[in-house]
Structure 1
Amino acid sequence: MSYTGPDFDPPPSRRFRRGPLTVALAALVPGALLGWAVYAAVGGSGDDGGDASASAGASASASSPAPSSAGASPSDESDESDESDESDGKKPSASPDSGSASASSSPSASAPAGTGPLKGKVVVIDPGHNPGNFQHTAEINRQVNIGTNSKECDTTGTSTNDGFSEAKFTLDVAHRMRSLLEGQGATVKLTQDDDRPFGPCIDERARIGNKAKADAVVSIHADGSGTGNRGFHVILPGPVNSGAADTRAIVEPSRELGERIAGNFVRATGNGPSNYVGGGTGLVTRKDLGGLNLSTVPKVFIECGNMRDSKDAALLTSGAWRQKAAQGISEGIVSFLRG
């Protein structure tokens, strides 16, 4: 998704409540980012002038820890419309997708929860942008109410310069996450699994998580920003109370979820936070995304990298790297749900 639309809100200052959970969270992201900084200084490629996500390709693979508590290795809201994606108006061609994880036999539905630390927990994964949106531009351009104003139902998403689409990327990462989280005993539901012609619209995506009474919802995306803009960022809901939107109850838990994901994403992938939004924190707060505004359960978005930058694109198109991304996001969810 491209961020040519509304300005980002600056990351809010830390809360002053100093309970044990808050203290732990306060240490989590800085520690992870410090670890990334040491990695970049000692083992990083250093070939991109100190960009926040300099640790690409093989270096990232070498520095990544072995899979941990999120389980064994094995789609928007993209509000995304909300995100004013740059999609060039053309349908990206399918690219070879080495290492892709297969979908379960029942699209969008979770397999029966097993035993594990997340038994009884419900996780909704929201893969941004349906691959079929390109054939349904009239439908996805329909306006829907997001509380503060109206936005398009959805967008097509972006793609790499070689035609690997954001929609394919998000579904692949979602499938990998589903395997990891179900292995931990969670009940997992996808908002879409390329099992419908287009959509769902951003308001419906929010309702899916609400109806499921999800303990955590994560919307998966990749950005479409300019060349040289690199790294991931996690988008948090800001306080909104307008029309059908009231995020006040989820702002704090969503921030905790986002911080956990950011810290684990750094450790799992070896890649640093965005060098173009978030002030190096990897965290951005927004009040203009319907998928967040209409959620009544903890929810965040993650932009895993920038598809329009060749170095980030090399990672996003790698099945091995997507497994690391899925691992990092999943471990962040596990950490959040286990407290």
Structure 2
Amino acid sequence: MSYVGPDFDPPQPRRSRRAPLTVALAALVPGALLGWLVYEAVGAPGGGAGNSAKPGGAATSASATASSPAPSRSSDSDQKHSPAPTRSAPAASGPLKGKVIVIDPGHNPGNFRHTVEINRKVDIGNSRKECDTTGTATNDGWPEAEFTLDVSHRLRTLLEKEGATVKLTHDGDEPAWGPCVDERARIGNTARADAAISIHADGSAVGNRGFHVILPGSVHSGAADTRPIVGPSRDLGERIAGNFVRATGSAPSNYVGGGTGLVTRTDLGGLNLSTVPKVFIECGNMRDGKDAALLTSGAWRQKAAQGISEGIVSFLRG
């Protein structure tokens, strides 16, 4: 999902890493992102990206970053083409037995073939917006829609092992495009989901790095009334953000959210029309070379799914 246009917060100037982030974490998200403070103190954990991917490391020029392609999909078995784990049958029992979770993989790989359909405007309560978009892509052309499906499949496997019933809003080939943003919300509502999450990756400027979780703001207009879900959705989002840091070692966004990893918005139909606790997560910036190196790593995507899963489990267990 890209941030373009007057409805979005513009990128903020880069700041000193430590003091503003520490203050924001202590004041706005108590305990949720303490893993990031540990990360800052001891360095990045071992894994797919190594030291070159440490958030907040030495700055590189925009041209140097942009010219560094994501790892080849044919030469490294841990990159884009790595399949998600094989889906297992739902556990007969587990801490989430009886819970329903809806996962919404952002966009759809087939959207680019259906531009007329996805450009149709739909009602999101306080305005009208396009049914859907194609999403963004890495600089070497790997689509956001493929990323979101991969993480969603990994997340489904983890949650089903916890005993949850998991529903996806789409599975890449069915439907062939969309669904529209209003229908994505309706799927979660109809399922009476205990929690819902929409998986995305951003398409921002080079040098903008890190993840952020998008929370629903208070909207009471037309078909939208988010007031009952604002509180529980914030709780869900804070738990996901904290566990995402711990599982991936990734930093909260350096360009939105003031270092907290949390952003509140009222212009997204998938949130405005939801009647169940729901958040979006932008797992990183596909247009930044360093973030793209993480997003195209199968090992890192598994960590991302693990962090999101742990956040959902924490929320549902209270």
TM-score by length of 1: 0.77
2:256 paired residue among 277, 282, 294: 277
What are the Cα deviations for residues 245-269 of structure 1, in whole angstroms up to 9, with x where unaligned?
Answer: 0000000000000000000000000
1:57 paired residue among 49, 58, 62: 49
Show the counterpart of 2:82.
99
Q: Which runs of 5+ in 1 are unaligned?
A: 10-24, 46-54, 63-93, 106-110
In the TM superposition, residue 4 of structure 1 has moved relative to its aligned partner by: 1.3
Show the counterpart of 1:188.
166
Paired with 1:113 and 1:126, the residues of 2 have a C-alpha distance of: 21
Instruction: Work out whether residues 210 and 283 of structure 2, in 8 Å CA contact, stay in contact via their aligned partners in 1.
Output: yes
In the TM superposition, residue 197 of structure 1 has moved relative to its aligned partner by: 1.3
In the TM superposition, residue 37 of structure 1 has moved relative to its aligned partner by: 2.7
Matched, 1:147 2:148: no
Instruction: Work out whether residues 53 and 291 of structure 2, in 8 Å CA contact, stay in contact via their aligned partners in 1.
Output: no
What are the Cα deviations for residues 98-144 of structure 1, in whole angstroms up to 9, with x where unaligned?
Answer: 43215659xxxxx5552100000000000001100010011100000
Q: Which runs of 5+ in 2 are unaligned?
A: 11-24, 55-71, 75-79
Pairwise mapping of residues 118-157 of structure 1 onto structure 2 (< 5 A)? Answer: 118-157=96-135
In the TM superposition, residue 30 of structure 1 has moved relative to its aligned partner by: 4.1
Instruction: Work out whether residues 61 and 321 of structure 1, in 8 Å CA contact, stay in contact via their aligned partners in 2.
Output: no
Stretch moving more, 219-228 or 96-105 = 96-105
Matched, 1:294 2:273: yes
What are the Cα deviations for residues 205-255 of structure 1, in whole angstroms up to 9, with x where unaligned?
Answer: 000000000000000000000000000000000000000000000000000
- Match for 1:58: what amino acid? G
Show the counterpart of 2:293.
314
- Match for 2:83: what amino acid? S
User: How many residue pairs align between the two structures?
Assistant: 279
Change (3 A) 1:245 1:95: farther
Show the counterpart of 2:16.
none
TM-score by length of 2: 0.82
Paired with 1:199 and 1:223, the residues of 2 have a C-alpha distance of: 18
Paired with 2:51 and 2:245, the residues of 1 have a C-alpha distance of: 13
In the TM superposition, residue 307 of structure 1 has moved relative to its aligned partner by: 0.2
Change (3 A) 1:58 1:168: same
Show the counterpart of 1:218.
197
Partner SS, residue 31 of structure 2: helix
What are the Cα deviations for residues 4-59 of structure 1, in whole angstroms up to 9, with x where unaligned?
Answer: 130349xxxxxxxxxxxxxxx989944353332332343249xxxxxxxxx98125
Instruction: Work out whether residues 103 and 167 of structure 2, in 8 Å CA contact, stay in contact via their aligned partners in 1.
Output: yes
Matched, 1:177 2:155: yes
- Match for 2:84: what amino acid? A
Show the counterpart of 1:37.
37
Paired with 2:48 and 2:160, the residues of 1 have a C-alpha distance of: 29
Show the counterpart of 1:266.
245
Instruction: Work out whether residues 292 and 299 of structure 1, in 8 Å CA contact, stay in contact via their aligned partners in 2.
Output: yes
Paired with 2:315 and 2:38, the residues of 1 have a C-alpha distance of: 25
Paired with 2:107 and 2:302, the residues of 1 have a C-alpha distance of: 20
Show the counterpart of 2:57.
none
Instruction: Work out whether residues 60 and 271 of structure 1, in 8 Å CA contact, stay in contact via their aligned partners in 2.
Output: no
Instruction: Work out whether residues 85 and 157 of structure 2, in 8 Å CA contact, stay in contact via their aligned partners in 1.
Output: no
Instruction: Work out whether residues 242 and 311 of structure 2, in 8 Å CA contact, stay in contact via their aligned partners in 1.
Output: yes
Q: Percent identity?
A: 76
Instruction: Work out whether residues 220 and 303 of structure 1, in 8 Å CA contact, stay in contact via their aligned partners in 2.
Output: yes
Matched, 1:244 2:223: yes
- Match for 1:337: what amino acid? L
